[in-house]
Structure 1
Amino acid sequence: MNPSIQAAPARVTVQIRPAGSRAELHEFSRWHHLAGVPQSRPAGRNLVEVDDAGILATGLTRSYAAEKLNSLTVPGGIPTVLAARTMALVAVADHPIGGLSVGPSFFLCAQMTTQGPATVLHAALATMKIHAVAVKPAWRRRGIGTALLRPALTIARQAGASVVYGQFNTDTVGLTEFYRHSGMDVSNPDAPLHMNALIDLPAVITPLPGETLFHRVVNQ
Structure 2
Amino acid sequence: MAQELSHRGEELKGLGWNGPDVARYVELWEYRQRWGAMNLEREDRLFLRKAENALPAILSGRAAAKKPIKDKTYYRWLRFHLEAMQQAEAEMGLAEGETGAWPVMLEAELRILDHYQPVLGLPDTLKAKALAPIRETLASQVAALGNVQAFHFEAPLNALKEKENNRWKHLRDGDGSDRTYPILSAEGRGGFRAEAHNAIHSLIRSTFPSLAETDKPELSHDEKHD
TM-score range with shorter-chain normalisation?
Answer: under 0.3
Which one has a larger percent helix, Structure 1 or Structure 2? 2
Higher relative contact order (CA 8 A, sep 6+): 2
TM-score (norm 2): 0.26
Which one has a larger percent strand, Structure 1 or Structure 2? 1
Q: Max radius of gyration: which structure?
A: 2
